[in-house]
Amino acid sequence: MNKKPYDLEERTFLFAKEVRLFIRTLNKTIANIEDAKQVIRSSGSIAANYIEANEALSKKDFSYRIKISRKEAKESLMWLRLIDETNDLSNSKLAEELIQEATELKKILSAIIEKS
């Protein structure tokens, strides 16, 4: 995730993909399985709702979809932090990078909301 694409559709897609790859490395505990389900849903929803926003039929629809995308970014951030702080991860650097990316996506989406 070193070089981040300028295209936000691609960037949100890559984030969802990287989350899925990260989840595959976790120990299969009850908590990790449940947390993984949540972060997989929310990370994918960031990308899906951003794509929907770009295809919006009205400004109101665009605003609604972007707000959902931001909400899902915040949720992804929470689940990633929870996974990071409740596991002894061998790949904690990747977890930190995903947490950073979720934070950046949240900020980008917030800026879009403020400007629209």
* CATH classification at residue 90: 1.20.1440.60
Our count of domains for the chain comes to 1
Asked whether residue 100 is assigned to any structural domain, the reply reads yes
81: confidence class by pLDDT, cuts 50, 70, 90: very high
18 within 8 A of 1, measured Cβ to Cβ: yes
Residue 3 in domain? no
Mean of per-residue pLDDT scores for the chain = 95
pLDDT given for residue 6 in this prediction: 81
- Whether the per-residue pLDDT at 50 is higher than 70: the answer is yes
Does any domain span residue 36?
Answer: yes
Residue 110 resides in a domain: yes
Residue 16 lies inside a defined structural domain of this protein = yes
**pTM of the complete model:** 0.92
Residues of the domain holding 110: 8-115
Quick check: is 2 in a domain?
no
- 1 located within any domain: no
- The counts of H helices and E strands in the chain are 4, 0
Q: What is the mean pLDDT of residues 57-67?
A: 96
